[in-house]
Structure 1
Amino acid sequence: MSNLVEIRDLEVEATTDSGRRVEIIKSITLDVAEGEIVALIGESGSGKTTIALTLMGYCRPGCRISRGQVLVNGKDMASLSEKERARMRGADIAYIPQSAAAAFNPSAKIIDQVIEVTRIHGLMPAEKARRRAVELFKALSLPNPETIGQHYPHQVSGGQLQRLSAAMALISDPKLVIFDEPTTALDVTTQIEVLRAFKSVMRATGIAGVYVSHDLAVVSQIADRIVVLKGGEVQETGSTAEILSTAKHPYTRELLAAFEPRPREVVEEQPDEMKPLLEFKDISAGYGSIQPDGLPLVRAVEGVSLILEKGRNLGIIGESGSGKSTLARTIAGVLPAAAGQMTFDGRELSRSARDRSHDQLREIQIVFQHADTALNPAKLVEDILGRPMAFYHRMGGRERSARIDELLDMVKLPRSVRSRRPSELSGGQKQRVNFARALAADPKLILCDEITSALDTVVAAAVIDLLKELQRELGISYIFISHDLSVVKAICDEIIVMYGGKKVEQLLPSEIKAAKHPYSQLLFSSVPKLDPDWLDSLEQAPSSARIASFDRRQAFAN
């Protein structure tokens, strides 16, 4: 089998604001054979996306290919003119982004966008392109393949949009497809459907692929070979089976170990810790106008009851749209509950944050999923951390400065970070600043809304270890909103499973394998494992065990 891709001694430089040149990709050499899928694995900043983009002859602003060859089907993308590269992009080399929503024009119908590349490159008549698109919709297991193209992007789900972006990439019959973390933002049940669709089409067409990800369990389901990267250098290369079973490099073993974070050590509970910190009774919340029954038009959360004891952690899991993030906003008072009773630390908790006491606002803090949008990009870290100190504690001057240093020590960030802006920090550092800001209020409860979903595996494991340590030192409680079961298992004492805005089951981490509700069983069985045969065996499992057997209309019958 001949090589479709041959990268030889690739080096990429970045220019800093001061004009200094920094080598970010260092003498990379790798091959991709025709029909082969190679995964580029590594933590944020390892260079995996930068290498993948050079296959299209592209570098981010401020970067350039300084040395080496990037041969795709015999043509060197590093030396071609921009006009020649443009002829290959979309036709011979296709790209599937992490965020499909950002790849689609919200004002144009899906079918027109999927076939646009065939018009640009003059590949086939419009009618033939539409027939080809429908064939791809069927191959990618999209619902109503004959008509889904007539929808606008906002009218389909995230998982469907991700598969439609794959159809857009594949319609030109490219020789190479670049997958840039295409399932990172998807919940586990949707991720399985998308992975299965990708794998089926790639097998059937024999197209080569480069799959960029930080999730070893995901790439092990689709990749033939894995290249492990760190600091712009290759650490290890091998077949998927070899990397998973006999990894040689310490960094590869670190990535494998981070896949399953260590469970929290459970200390013997004191009587005071067993008192309820937060109690919800029949809480309902949602959006839209209030109906005659006093409830909103769209009920995102309906009749949910829960109890969180002091010093303990509660995990809330479910697929996108299950109501878990709405429940977090209801606890925080950002979205006032429409019905039900709330108690916090023995006192009634007002539904709206506006009606809560100063202490209640301080004692319940929330850390959001995307630190990029949660932190003010124009402010220095010391100003970001100083604001809650001034608001909640009226702290200023030397006292505030000393407390900022103390908080940075607590979240294991160097004190020099205080004079930087968020854009100068890595994803993991930004999330630690996010936590330091929450801790500045001296809270009793922190709501963690998908806080690790945007982080690579190693950084996410480090953040989880940090939270465990902070809990031991400060005695705070966490509520984890997530679709990542490994994270929830590692830190939570109890887990609530939500579906369609309702709580369908509550169980201990040790009881996951004995889950009774069919949706819980589906959710837990959809978490990828470090086994190359896992997805194929899942497809061959008895129908009673899979999504085909899960009648969503009867989700609450049990």
Structure 2
Amino acid sequence: MDQPLVSVRDLKIGARTDSGREVEIIKGVSFDIAPGEIVALIGESGSGKTTIALSLMGHARPGCAIQGGTIRVGRRDVTAMPERQRAAMRGTEVSYVPQSAAAAFNPAKRIMDQVVEITAIHQLMPREQAEAKARQLFRALALPDPDTIGSRYPHQVSGGQLQRLSAAMALIGDPALVIFDEPTTALDVTTQIEVLRAFKSVMDKGAMAGVYVSHDLAVVAQIADRIIVLKNGVVQEEGATEQILHAPKHPYTRQLLDAFEPVPHVPVARPDAAEPILAVQNLCAGYGAMRDGVPAAKILQDVSFRLERGRNLGVIGESGSGKSTLARAIAGILPAYRGNLLLDGKELAPALQQRSKDELRRVQIVFQLADTALNPAQSIETILARPLTFYHGMTGAARNARVIELLDMVRLPGHLRHRLPSELSGGQKQRVNLARALAAEPELILCDEITSALDTVVAAAILDLLKELQRELNLSYMFISHDLSTVEAICDEVLVMLKGRVVEALPAARMSTEAAHPYSRLLIGSIPQLDTGWLKGLEQDPALMAQFAGR
């Protein structure tokens, strides 16, 4: 093998807790990356993927420190460098593409100014040359209007475009190594395809090496030459992408692969109820100032469906299709301006302020991001106690006992009730989010993308928990997602939404084989497969993608 571009030996990274205790996060990790090779670091949340990736730039998160081992990039020993030299290396020899491109851009500055900024900081080239190079990268990354997109502000481009622009920012200094930190996690499936294609094309042409951090094995299969599997800061397995995907040796790797393919949902037979738990008739909702009873921005347009008691309805579609607006309209957070909502055959008022306490109790919503849904200043006990008092008038010892019961319901230990949300993992926070909804003793739970921010193993565990709770408590779910495989794992029926309208409705078990609408077929065809040749062999009509995605 040629001299490796990156050589990591016995890397140890530790952190000091608030109580002063030393914790080892990365426990003696070693690996090499050859010039031009893309290596994926995979594992669930807390496995140490991002911590290792950031250390290749000589960076450790606040409270963390590199405590042992060596990292060499080219001929330079990153661990032995002073901070000034590490800073000079970032953006030129090693660069970084973040998970959230929106957070990487300054909303007040034009895109071009931000993309070329690193060339001025390190005096790499004159401004005119930097702008010409940026436009070249915009073309290579398949961005629209490459000659003029740089004059826009970040809010004037889509999420997928912004993600590719953040790659342009990382690539303009001609780095030898690019670190991709879950750069497609927050994107819709069709947008993800475009971004992956663009990344792969530019990396291949430039013969750059890369580190791709992800929990999504199907995405990794499209871009990585080799995979390193991590758990709790320790390498579990390392090998060529084909070998890891099709002949894994370690039980944990097999667990990750199993979690990638959720068990299909088997509908539970229910006695026929006279009325569906929820009936939605010609619902219209939108945002902005009202004029003649109609909002400035109309989002939902004549949406109708029925959800039978004890069954689950999936709603899929890309960002902007109206999925979350539908959940908010049903919950009464965004009152519909036209149409009817019937709960068990009885009319529900459009706004939650007009609904009775019992109506509010029976329909609960669980939001996508537990981080923003849970009050960071309150303990888990306080968060769960509030709905118990509001809906059931519980206080004192009875309420405290019920909090412990609720945590047990979502498979969390009772002692976590004394913690703050920031002291829990992403999966634990989402379970608390669910426990808060269960505190009301609802009949219908609206789940808005509740697994999209979670890694594959944790997401699979949440889906299993939802199924278990449904059997025990006779719940009905409306499950919103842009991921069809998630919906298939828990839902009986699926609605496909496009630009505020339902374009197709089918039983979940038949959606992959029988969907007829071109947009449904596009969504289904854009779900990455555990096959290294899948992206290369994927043929999609660019005009169709542009028409439906509005990019």
Cα gap change, 1:434/1:554 in structure 2, threshold over 3 Å: closer, same or farther? Answer: closer
**1:127 maps onto 2:122 in alignment:** no
Q: Which amino acid aligns with 1:78?
A: T
Q: Is 1:184 matched with 2:185?
A: yes
Cα distance in structure 1, aligned partners of 2:268 and 2:478: 18
CA drift at 1:9: 0.6
SS in 1 for 2:261: coil
Q: Which residue of 1 aligns with 2:455?
A: 456
Contact 2:519–2:548 under 8 Å retained in 1: no
Q: Percent identity?
A: 63
- Equivalent residues of 1:24, 1:47 under 8 A apart: yes
**Partner Cα distance (2:204, 2:537) in 1:** 16
Deviations 1:211-236 (A, max 9, x none): 00001011110000000000100000
Show CA shifts across 1:287-321 (max 9, x none): 112234x3211111111111111000001110111
Structure 2 CA distance for aligned equivalents of residues 422 and 239 of structure 1:
38
Give 2:39's aligned residue. Answer: 38
Aligned-pair CA distance for 1:554:
12
Is residue 140–residue 198 contact of structure 2 (8 Å, CA) maintained in 1?
yes
Q: Does 1:358 align with 2:353?
A: no
Shift of 1:243: 0.4
- What residue in structure 1 maps to residue 402 of structure 2? 403
- Residue of structure 2 equivalent to 1:20: 21
In structure 2, the partner of 1:285 is 285
**Is residue 10–residue 29 contact of structure 1 (8 Å, CA) maintained in 2?**
yes
2:530 aligned with 1:548, yes or no? Answer: no
**Counterpart in the other structure of 2:381:** 382
Question: Which residue is equivalent to 2:199?
Answer: 198
Query: Does the aligned pair in 1 maintain the 2:496–2:504 contact within 8 Å?
Result: yes
**Aligned equivalent of 1:520:** 520
Per the alignment, residue 52 of structure 2 pairs with 51
CA contact (8 A) 1:522 1:547 kept: no
Distance 1:522 1:19 in 2: 52
Rounded Cα–Cα distance in structure 2 between residues aligned with 1:488 and 1:312: 13
Q: Give the direction of change, closer, same or farther, for the CA distance of 1:320–1:388 in structure 2 (3 Å limit).
A: same
Query: Aligned-pair distance for 1:473?
Result: 0.2
Partner of 1:60: 61
Rounded to whole Å, the distance in 2 between the matches of 1:249 and 1:482 is: 31
Residues 44 and 282 from structure 1, CA distance in 2 versus in 1: closer, same or farther, beyond 3 angstroms? same
Equivalent position SS for 1:221? helix
Q: Would you say the 8 A contact 2:267–2:311 is kept in 1?
A: no
- 1:446-465 Cα deviation digits (max 9, x unpaired): 11111011111000000000
Kept in 2, the 8 Å contact 1:522–1:546? The answer is no
Match of residue 144 from structure 1: 145
* Structure-2 change in CA distance of 1:122 and 1:554 (3 Å): closer
Match of 2:168 in 1: 167
d(CA) in 1 for partners of 2:431, 2:527: 26
Corresponding residue of 1:233: 234
Cα distance in 2 for partners of 1:265, 1:493 equals 8
| Poorly superposed stretches of 4+, deviation over 3 Å | 545-551
Match of 1:471 in 2: 470
Distance 2:24 2:401 in 1: 37
3-state SS in 2 of match to 1:279: strand
User: Distance in 1 between the 2:549 and 2:123 partners?
Assistant: 49
* Residue 275 (structure 1) shift: 3.1
Deviates more, 1:510-519 or 1:235-244: 510-519
TM-aligned CA distance change 1:554 to 1:428, over 3 Å: closer
Q: Deviations over 1:466-520 (max 9, x none)?
A: 0000000000111111111111000000000011111110111222222110000
| Residues 173-203 of structure 1: per-residue CA shift (max 9 Å, x gap) | 1100000000000010111110111011111
Q: 1:334 to 1:536 in 2, by over 3 A?
A: same
Once the two structures are TM-superposed, the CA of residue 62 in structure 1 deviates from its matched residue by 1.0
Is the aligned partner of 1:313 residue 2:308? no
Superposition deviation, residue 553 in structure 1:
7.3
CA pair 80-554 structure 1, distance change in 2 beyond 3 A: closer
Residue 203 of structure 2 aligns with an amino acid whose one-letter code is M
SS of the equivalent of 1:10 reads: strand
Alpha-carbon distance in structure 1 between the residues aligned to 2:209 and 2:421: 38
Q: Report the AA paired with residue 276 of structure 2.
A: P
Deviation track 1:254-280 (CA, whole Å, cap 9, x = no partner) reads 0000001112232222122x7311111
3-state secondary structure, aligned to 2:29: strand
In the TM superposition, 1:413-492 aligns within 5 A as 413-492=412-491
- Structure 2 spans left out of the alignment, 5+ residues: none
Q: Report what 1:115 is aligned to.
A: 116
Residues 385, 436 of structure 1: 8 Å contact kept = yes
Question: How many pairs are equivalent?
Answer: 548
Question: In the alignment, what sits opposite 1:324?
Answer: 323
1:106 aligns with 2:101: no
Secondary structure at the counterpart of residue 79 of structure 2: coil
Counterpart of 2:471, as a letter, is R
Amino acid across the alignment from 2:81: L
Once the two structures are superposed, the pairs formed by residues 237-316 of structure 1 within 5 Å of their partners are: 237-272=238-273, 275-292=275-292, 294-316=293-315
How far off is 1:16 after superposition? 1.0
Q: Assess if the C-alpha contact under 8 Å between 1:518 and 1:550 holds in 2.
A: no
Secondary structure of the corresponding residue to residue 439 of structure 1: helix
Q: Is the 8 A contact 2:374 2:421 kept in 1?
A: yes
1:25 Cα deviation from its structure 2 partner:
0.4
TM-score (norm 1): 0.97
Q: Where does the alignment leave 5 or more consecutive residues of structure 1 unmatched?
A: none
Aligned equivalent of 1:500: 499
Partner of residue 529, structure 2:
529
Contact map agreement 2:492 2:509 (CA 8 A) in 1: no
Deviation digits for residues 54-106 of structure 1 (CA, Å, limit 9, x no counterpart):
00001011111111001011211111001100110011111000000000000
- Pair 1:510 & 2:509 matched: yes
Cα distance 1:135–1:502, how it changes in 2: closer, same or farther (>3 A)?
Answer: same
The answer to whether the 8 A contact 1:277-1:344 is kept is yes
TM-score (norm 2): 0.98
Structure 1 CA distance for aligned equivalents of residues 492 and 476 of structure 2: 11
Question: Residue deviations 1:325-372, cap 9 Å, x none?
Answer: 111100110000011111111210110001111111111111111111
Query: Cα 1:551–1:183, aligned 2, differ >3 Å: closer, same or farther?
Result: closer
Alignment root-mean-square deviation, CA? 1.2
**Residue 104 of structure 1 contacts residue 153 of structure 1 at CA under 8 Å; is this kept in 2?**
yes
The answer for the alignment partner of 1:3 in structure 2 is 4
Does the 8 Å CA contact 1:41/1:228 hold for their aligned counterparts? yes
Q: What's the counterpart of residue 348 of structure 2?
A: 349
> 1:119-177, CA deviations, whole angstroms, 9 ceiling, x for partnerless residues?
00111110010010001001101011111000000110000000000000001111000
